[in-house]
Amino acid sequence: MGLIRLFLAFAVLTHHEPLLGRELLPGGVSVRLFFIISGFYMALVLDQRYGIHRKALFYSNRLLRLLPSYLVVAALSLIVLLAADAHPFLALEDLAGLGQESPRVLLAAALGNALIIGQNLFFLADLTPEFNLTASPCQDCSILGFWLLLVPQAWSLAVEMGFYLLAPFLVLRPSRTLLAILLGSLVLHQALPLWLADGENIAHHTLAPQLHLFLLGILSYRLIPLVRRAPRLLAWVSLPLLLVNLGLYQSLADQWRFPLAALLLALTAPFIFETLRNNRWDRLLGDLSYPFYISQFLVITIFRNWFGNLPAPWVLVGTLAASLLLFFLVDRPLARFRSRRLLARLTITRPEQEPYVPVLAQTGHP
């Protein structure tokens, strides 16, 4: 499903930068669809690689997947902010004022930027004129809480890390239990905007109201045995059908377009995975999706600050170049390291001392 993952990352870029004159998908929609794919892949790797007894290895490898590239981009974003006063939203003088007036808030922002954990909560707060955090929406606040993030789109990684924490326990539950939790999460997601003034914001940026999407991905993975017995034609039409749906998303009726896209992704994901699981090019596209997603605001900031008159497509070129650098210099070496760690734990010594190494599924590095 590498093509789909890169398509969604590209759709987020079109939300932040008008490359095509319009956005392919709203940024929040792309992120929520990512959560479904994440649930699918976490169910896959826990089932076929880690099992239920290697939680520490699973958690540490997930951190090794997310943190290194993120920290590189965050460090570069901080350098650009300090050296050139360039940031997607924040001015250097605001940061200086924050350091003088509210060092505790600055410390909280520093920890959130360094650890990812809690970054989504910055979307639920704004900065008062006295540089104190207050619950949003705030009429008198000129600085929004998420402006303090060096990599603003990384809020979704904070939610993902919560999903990863729950994943080894969720994959053990029967499907009927997962369906019950899914429905509870979905009801919460729909009810929060009705209950609270900032309910839509809370529903979008917190774990519990988004958990139904991750669970939908887990349930999607459980369809694979049925998919393997289905007619081959369904596998070949699944990818074009999903891409057409996503391409036409903006023209569909508001109340139906996201449920349709989410359900269609969950139903087609097993077919697409089975069709392309051994395709090296699709795997490469999938591997590029994370660095493409995490680097795009940094590239946009650099281009706006130094090359403001360049045509918008150059942002795409710059983001692709940054993605390739991150992939070859950071992600791929660490992917090999994670694989070696996993193989070392999976190697079993038989009584006659012959090593046995199980064959791992060809899934790429979700």
With bands split at pLDDT 50, 70 and 90, how would you rate the model's confidence at 337?
very high
End-to-end Cα separation, the chain, in angstroms = 10
pLDDT at 358: 35
pLDDT at 219: 97
Average pLDDT score over the chain: 89
66-92 pLDDT per residue, tens: 999 999 999 999 999 999 999 989 888
Q: State the residue for tokens 């993120």.
A: 70
Span 167-179, mean pLDDT? 95
Span 191-199, mean pLDDT? 92
Span 129-152, mean pLDDT? 85
Residue 44 to residue 177: CA distance in whole angstroms: 19
Q: Find residue 5's DSSP bridge partners.
A: none
Cβ atoms of 42 and 133 closer than 8 Å: no
pLDDT at 279: 92
201-243 pLDDT per residue, tens: 999 999 999 999 999 999 999 999 999 998 888 888 999 999 9
130 φ, ψ to 5°?
-90, 10
pLDDT at 159: 97
pLDDT at 308: 75
282-330 pLDDT per residue, tens: 999 999 999 999 999 999 999 988 887 777 788 999 999 999 999 999 9
Q: What is the pTM of this model?
A: 0.91
The DSSP letter of residue 228 is T
Domain boundaries, the chain: 2-79+153-345, 88-149
Tokens of 213: 């999407």
Provide DSSP, 15-60: HHS-TTSS-SS-HHHHHHHHHHHHHHHHHHHIIIII-SS-HHHHHH
Cβ atoms of 90 and 147 closer than 8 Å: yes
Residues whose CB falls within 8 Å of the CB of residue 76, separated by 6 or more in sequence, listed in order: 298
Is the pLDDT at 53 greater than 80? The verdict is no
Q: Which residue has the higher pLDDT, 96 or 325?
A: 325
The DSSP letter of residue 358 is P
Is the pLDDT at 363 greater than 50? The verdict is no
208 CB burial (10 A radius; 0-12, 13-18, 19+)? middle
pLDDT at 295: 96
Q: Which residue has the higher pLDDT, 61 or 312?
A: 61
